[in-house]
Structure 1
């Protein structure tokens, strides 16, 4: 590779009211406005281990972030080619 760029994703995880929440925010040279969100719910008996809830919430936040990035890329591409674009994953 002749040129390398670094994109960073910051993930914040917290819990409240029987739910685990996660946010994943993308930082690159151009934007820092893309944030994905995810959550996981504890089992009614509260027996779900905390790590599992965090994993699920983070996975959902990253998936949401990926979707938002595809939408942003579609919009950027539409502006460049002046025609509707649909990107799929």
Structure 2
């Protein structure tokens, strides 16, 4: 994050969506260069009184999976900061 040089890094995200009846499950997988990955999970269920529109379930489940992934990434960053500085992180927000 510091220095005068500029370099580009690429992280790849992949979303998998599985529909089963009125339930949709999404998995958001983020892969970095070091080979590590973080996986977020999200689920959406159609209310029995609502019309079943699969595209909406896909969107909700995916949004929830990405939100889960985002929170995990923030927690990992906070942990890494604490390890690096030997001080607790007090104000790291999404």
TM-score by length of 2: 0.85
Q: Please, what is the CA RMSD of the aligned residues?
A: 1.7
Q: Is the 8 A contact 1:11 1:24 kept in 2?
A: yes
CA distance in 1, matches of 2:85, 2:42: 33
Q: Which runs of 4+ in 1 moved over 4 A?
A: none
CA distance in 2, matches of 1:54, 1:42: 11
> Runs of 5+ in structure 1 lacking a partner?
none
How many aligned positions are there?
89
> Runs of 5+ in structure 2 lacking a partner?
none
Q: What are the equivalent positions in structure 2 for 1:6-85 lying under 5 Å apart?
A: 6-45=10-49, 47-85=51-89
CA distance in 2, matches of 1:78, 1:30: 21
Question: What's the CA shift for 1:45?
Answer: 4.1
TM-score by length of 1: 0.89
